[in-house]
Amino acid sequence: MDLKLTDQETAFREEVRAWVADNLPAHLASKVRGGFRLTRDDMQGWFRILGKKGWHCGSWPIEFGGQGWSPVQKYLFEEECARAGAPRVLSFGPFMVGPVIMKFGNSEQHKRFLPGICSGDVWWSQGYSEPGAGSDLVSVKTRANRKGDVYIVNGQKTWSTYGQYGDWIFCLVRTSQEGKPQNGISFLLIDMTSPGISVRPIKLLDGECEVNEIFFDDVAVPADNLIGEENKGWTYAKYLLGLERTAIANVNRAKQELVRLKHIAQAEGVYADGRFRDEIARLEVEILALELLVLRVLTSRNSGGQPMDIAALLKIRGSEIQQRLLELMMLAAGPASLPFIETAILGEISGDPVVPAHAAPLASGYLNMRKSSIYGGTNEIQRNIVAQTMLA
């Protein structure tokens, strides 16, 4: 599928394609296309390259350091990056806390926090979920007690993706026990180098420590780091969650993973199987439908319309498609998909690769992607939101 682009949008796409081809390091593209894990240096190195061009936060308004891209331009940028095999820009800074700071923060916070996000120099982590407060975020218990010009924070966050890399973390904290639970939540920005913060990695099924527990023990946080008003954080949290759930759809990555799936199926000789091709075709139709939904939203925004709130629906379909892509890749590769220790896959132990290059490391990706239907609000919760929206 292709957009009916204006001459300006076509020129923009060509500019992005040429620039990414000239500036994306070849080793990064190879790792992304092969499904291998990226290090912090891999990811942040690319973010900084984008930052120097002004494209790490290209969709931000010009007054906040962005390029003022339209929704269609942002879509085209992401499509070209995915096609080239570039690491995906992480949402935490550019698409989650950045927009919250722009919308609800004050001018001093704009000057202090936004430039580091634009440049790609400051790594942000998310502090939402807690033990006993995942999809039910109004149950957060991490406390922030105001003492003069600081908040003293005590509590625990969990499932913080790449929390071990964070320079800063945005947190939901409880500042009041009065009234409804959501009325006592505040939105706080915390320097991860502050005394009293400790990070404990959580090892996942794929052997990677991508998520973490973060503990706060009498952490002093300047009151100036409060976003908006005290006890109004639930409003800001809902705004951010809408941005996160929309990003999870990630249709451009799904399109590139579909290409990879077909390549694996052909290499393994199962593409000739009519039933397997039916499964690929069904998935391709689902990706096309998701893309049409995303483009419908973009078109509505460009025309000044008010599209229905479909963040929950995009999250459901996007996460399920990501999981199905990996399932079919595993089925296509069969036993070759099982090894997921990278050094063994690449032959760094035995001297010879133990599986074909196209099959590595599918098991790791499959196990890791089990979480996509849980984070950002479980798909069961999202279905309730869709039902309430449609039946209200």
CATH T-level assignment (fold) for domain 124-230: Butyryl-CoA Dehydrogenase, subunit A; domain 2 (2.40.110)
pLDDT one-digit tens code per residue, 218-271: 999 999 999 999 999 999 998 887 766 666 678 888 999 999 999 999 999 999
- Burial profile 297-331: b = 16 or more Cβ within 10 angstroms, e = fewer: bbeeeeeeeeeeebbbbbbbbbbebbbbbbbbbbb
343, pLDDT greater than 60: no
**Which of 78, 79, 210, 244 does the annotation list as catalytic?**
244
Average pLDDT, the chain: 88
pLDDT > 90 fraction of the chain, expressed in percent and rounded? 63
Q: Residue 230 catalytic?
A: no
**Where along the chain do the CATH 1.20.140.10 domains lie?**
249-391
Chain region(s) in the chain for CATH 1.10.540.10: 7-89
**Is residue 213 within 8 Å of 156, Cβ to Cβ?**
yes
> What's the mean pLDDT in 330-348?
71
Q: What is the CA radius of gyration of the chain?
A: 22
Q: What secondary structure does DSSP assign to 98-142, as a single string?
A: HHHHHHHS-HHHHHHHHHHHHHT-S-EEEE--BTTBSS-GGG---
Name the pLDDT band for 356 (thresholds 50, 70, 90): confident
Superfamily of domain 249-391: Butyryl-CoA Dehydrogenase, subunit A, domain 3 (1.20.140.10)
Residue 376 has pLDDT above 80, yes or no: no
Q: What is the pTM of this model?
A: 0.86
DSSP 8-state class, residue 223: G
Beta bridge partners of 200: 213
Q: What is the DSSP letter of 67?
A: -
Q: Mind listing the pLDDT tens digit for each residue in 276-330? A: 999 999 999 999 999 888 877 666 655 555 444 577 788 889 899 999 999 999 9
DSSP letters for 137-199: GGG---EEEEETTEEEEEEEEEEEETGGG-SEEEEEEE---SSSGGGGEEEEEEETTSTTEEE
Note the pLDDT tens digit of each residue in 17-63.
999 999 999 999 998 988 888 999 999 999 999 999 999 999 999 99
Considering the domain 7-89, what is its CATH architecture?
Answer: Orthogonal Bundle (1.10)
**Amino acid type, 26:** A
Output b/e per residue, 222-236; b: 16+ Cβ within 10 A: eeebbbbebbbbbeb
Please state, in angstroms and rounded to a whole number, the distance separating the CA atoms of residues 23 and 13: 15
Strand partners, 226: 188
CATH 2.40.110.10 domain extents, the chain: 124-230
Q: Which helix (H) or strand (E) holds 366?
A: helix 362-368
* 361 upstream amide cis, omega within 30 of 0: yes
